[in-house]
Chain A
Amino acid sequence: MFNSLRGRSSPTAHTAEDASTNKDKGESEDDSIGVESIDQYTRLLGVNMYNFEFFVLCEILQPGTLGQISRKEFVNGWKNQTRSPGVPLEPSMDEHKKFIRSRIQQLPRDPVLFKKVYRQTFMSGKESHQKAIPKEVAITFWDELFSPTLRPWKTAKVDWLDAWERYLADNWKRSVNKDMWNQTLEFAIKTMEDETLSFWTENQAWPGVIDDFVVWCREEGVVASPKKNADGMEVDE
């Protein structure tokens, strides 16, 4: 999954190498499975490893690093799932298959689940020793999560995902940390409710990158600039 997604978005030499070392290490070494085994497992489970379905699996197993799932994560992940409150899942492949399929179908309609999946995507998508993911990887993830069939980040007048990525291309040279990743979803949710950005003020706890994005949107005409009164103060209408 991560490999293939990266393949679509001009992988850097660094990340490609990381993936291959994971593969070479094999499974047995540290009690965890690598990319090849994950590939096999997802096939058995009926989960598409090459799109967002894999993110749903990540939300269940919560792997802490890229392309690797430990025994502990696997066992605890499934153990913590319930068929209904208080009723644990049967430890069988069929039960697991059914469960994850319903989760996948639920995802576009369930904002709470979506947020969980979104947040876990970052945690499972980074190297365990890193605090951030490369910008290119983040964009690939966003493209997938905000894809038209899943949960499009788009309102009547504005294609936000497109604007966000255009903004990042010219103004963001750094990697994407957890704060930026999580806040992007919060911001996306807000924009879906109010595409004029009138909810935003600079006195809120938004990260600087989002503050700058709002300013950029106004300058670029993505949204209208708020009207100013004679004193140059912004006024609500």
Chain B
Amino acid sequence: MAVFGGRKDAMEVAAPLGGRVLGAMCELVDYDRKGDERFESGLLKESVLMLRLFGVYGKFFERRFLDESHSFFLRFAEERSAAYGLKDYIIACERLLQREGERCDQYNFDSATKRQLRDDAHRILVEKYSAKLLDSGNVGRLLEANDVESIKALYDLLRLSNIQKQLKGPWEEYIRTMGSAIVGDTARGEEMVIRLLELRRSLDIMIRDAFGKDEVFTYGLREAFGSFINDKKNTAAWNTGTSKVGEMIAKYIDILLRGGLKTLPKTLLSDSKDRADAEMSGIASTGDEDAELDRQLDNGLELFRFIEGKDVFEAFYKRDLARRLLMGRSASQDAERNMLSKLKSECGSSFTHNLEQMFKDQELGRDEMVSYKEWLAGTGRTKGGMDLTVSILSAAAWPTYPDMRVLLPKDVLEHINSFDAYYKSKHTGRRLAWKHNLAHCVIRAQFDRGPKELLVSALQAVVLVLFNEAEGKGGPTDGVLAYQQIAQTTGLPGPELQRTLQSLACGKIRVLSKHPKGRDVKETDTFTVNKAFTDPKFRVKINQIQLKETKEENQDTHKRVAADRQFETQAAIVRIMKSRKTMTHSQLVAEVINQTKSRGAVDAADIKLNIEKLIEKDYIEREDGAYVYMA
């Protein structure tokens, strides 16, 4: 039994035997590591016990065991990292570390041994191979596969060596790559915001479930979003000159406010964990639709927060809001108000001031109509059963609309003139400009299969009522109107008339028939009423074209935003020069960009042009290679 003996001479004999024991123990561990069936659990346990009894555990065993483990780890890491992809490498490391830990406990290894073993394993498996673990391509693939489990394992692994924060690099790079691809994808522009939100959502879940809500990653996410959303290279494909993302977010919110929660993909809706979080922080906690809508609006706004160049959003939001109000397309007044207050805290009251005025105009308009109708009843004049509702809009608060020249039917015109006169006598000094292309109405129509109510735009109505007079003349042209005749009687300009006729005779719902048939309206075409028209509903909407933004309108809005930016740039230059008196070119340009960035900055060359315009107007002067403000 004197294997390790106490006496000096015995030691000399014993050493080789001791060496064999130690070697055999390490071999046992090695069997266990490799899953070799020659492993004997009991033997290892008793051997350790024996070493402890002799008090030589620390003296002989520990060092040797650690040395052998060290080379094992080296081999392991080398083999596995070469053979496996990141995911499998992570799993392998995770499993190895777990088993090493368990073995130490199970066989009563010293806790100091366990600690040293673990540290060594971390150094070799994690730190030495951190390049592999932190490779953005590898990490990106896991993120793209939305592999929360692996990312979590990776994060935990890196945390063992306290280098988990370095994941921020690949994390941001992944977000930038994905985001840039979405923002620059002109083929799927309609889905841009939904896709961005989906990306955002999966990343948020990643932070929550894989990164233990580590703030470093929340911060990195924000940085990366801000960078790709504002990268001019990404949005250059759209050719709008201003931020396309701003426009798309405005449109997304428009869809939501028109009641489009249903159109959202499931992935975007909150899950139970979100709701629990929301409940904890005391905000809209219930799972009902209003609360969900509120959360979705917040999500949209959160994207909006990243945008430098908020003016584009504002312009489109205003147009969309106007359309919702004028066409009665808002799903909920509450949601509109709610959104307005969100915008107020986001963009400031100077922006929401006009929007609030729009809501106010609506209310005032309703009151105005009530008193007009009372007055009309009082005078004893009635307008032949035709009902008129007028929305009075303050020109300054609403988007600008072009004046549309159209010849209205006589009775409508009389009614309008009557209101016009009433209004002007009531409010002296005010001027009314009628925007006929915004008007819509309900008309009754008699078809062979019964009467229908048609919801049409004013322009559609003007065309339709012409057929009342065309009928009953007898002969082959009875009820037939040629394009030129319609053009003359309505006075509508070409493109507008074509759009209108197309919507009545070539769309899904055809109350007119075009001869000859075809998708495009030509100047030689003739039209008749489609007497055979039928529809399952009594009230039929055909004024959709009025709701849709035309390409021209879209370009126009972008152009106006771009023009406004030039003015705001000049205003900023004057403001800065007034307070700083003298500045070099690069200082001034930097400061102008800084001040205009959030609403929308122009590039340096444009800033220079605007500086020159101001020099010409004697606001500033060049002196000794710098600019000087002139009072």
Contact = CB atoms under 8 A, between A and B. Distances in A.
Contacts of A205: 584-585, 611, 622, 625-627
B213 interface: no
Given A203-B585, A205-B584, A208-B609, A183 B622 contact: yes
A177 interface: yes
A204 interface: yes
B615 interface: yes
A203 B622 contact: no
Interface in B582-631: 584-586, 589, 604, 608-609, 611-612, 615-616, 621-622, 625-627
Contacts, number: 33
Given A131-B616, A179-B612, A179-B616, A204 B585 contact: yes
B622 A179 contact: yes
A182 interface: yes
B576 to A, nearest CB: 14
Interface string A190-228: 000000000000011101100100000000000000000
A64 to B, nearest CB: 15
Contact-size category for B: 10 to 19
B457 to A, nearest CB: 47
A203 B612 CA distance: 14
B589 A203 contact: yes
Contacts of B612: 179, 207-208
B351 to A, nearest CB: 33
A211 B622 CA distance: 15
Contact of B625 (A131, A204, A208): A204
A219 B611 CA distance: 26
A193 B608 CA distance: 26
A179 B612 CA distance: 9
Given A131-B616, A208-B609, A182 B585 contact: no
Interface in A152-211: 177, 179, 182-183, 186, 203-205, 207-208, 211
A23 to B, nearest CB: 31
Interface string B527-567: 00000000000000000000000000000000000000000
A182 B616 contact: no
B586 A203 contact: yes
Contacts of B609: 208
Interface centre among B611, B612, B621, B627 (most CB of A within 10 A): B612
Contacts of A183: 622
Contacts of A204: 584-586, 625
Interface string B349-370: 0000000000000000000000
A130 B611 CA distance: 20
A179 B623 CA distance: 10
Contacts of A207: 612, 615, 622
A179 B621 contact: yes
Nearest to B586: A203
B585 A208 contact: no
A179 B615 contact: yes
Contacts of B615: 179, 207
A182 B622 contact: yes
B623 to A, nearest CB: 9
B137 to A, nearest CB: 24
A35 B585 CA distance: 42
Nearest to B608: A208
A211 B604 CA distance: 13
Contacts of A131: 616
Interface centre among B608, B609, B611, B626 (most CB of A within 10 A): B608
Interface string A103-140: 00000000000000000000000000001000000000
A76 B418 CA distance: 70
Contacts of B627: 205
Interface centre among B589, B616, B621, B622 (most CB of A within 10 A): B622
A186 B621 CA distance: 13
Nearest to A182: B622
A161 to B, nearest CB: 21
A203 B589 CA distance: 9
Contacts of B626: 205
Nearest to A211: B608
Contacts of B608: 208, 211
B274 to A, nearest CB: 46
A135 to B, nearest CB: 16
Nearest to A209: B612
A208 B615 CA distance: 12
Given A183-B622, A205-B626, A177 B616 contact: yes
A177 B616 CA distance: 7
A177 B626 CA distance: 18
Contacts of A182: 622
A52 to B, nearest CB: 25
Contacts of A179: 612, 615-616, 621-622
B620 to A, nearest CB: 9
Nearest to A177: B616
Contacts of B585: 203-205
A182 B608 CA distance: 18
A125 to B, nearest CB: 18
Nearest to B611: A205
A144 B254 CA distance: 66
A183 B611 CA distance: 14
Contacts of A208: 608-609, 612
Nearest to B616: A177
Nearest to B609: A208
A204 B585 CA distance: 5
Interface string A44-73: 000000000000000000000000000000
A211 to B, nearest CB: 8
A177 to B, nearest CB: 6
Nearest to A183: B622
A182 B589 CA distance: 22
A209 B627 CA distance: 17
A203 B590 CA distance: 11
Contacts of B584: 204-205
Contacts of A211: 608
Nearest to B585: A205
15 contacts: A177-B616, A179-B612, A179-B615, A179-B621, A183-B622, A186-B622, A203-B586, A204-B585, A205-B584, A205-B585, A205-B611, A205-B622, A205-B625, A207-B612, A211-B608
* Nearest 7 pairs of A and B residues by beta carbon: A205-B585, A203-B586, A179-B615, A204-B585, A205-B622, A205-B625, A205-B627
Interface of A: 131, 177, 179, 182-183, 186, 203-205, 207-208, 211
Interface of B: 584-586, 589, 604, 608-609, 611-612, 615-616, 621-622, 625-627
Given A179-B612, A179-B615, A186-B625, 12 more contacts: A131-B616, A177-B616, A179-B622, A183-B622, A203-B589, A203-B604, A204-B585, A204-B586, A205-B584, A205-B585, A205-B622, A207-B622
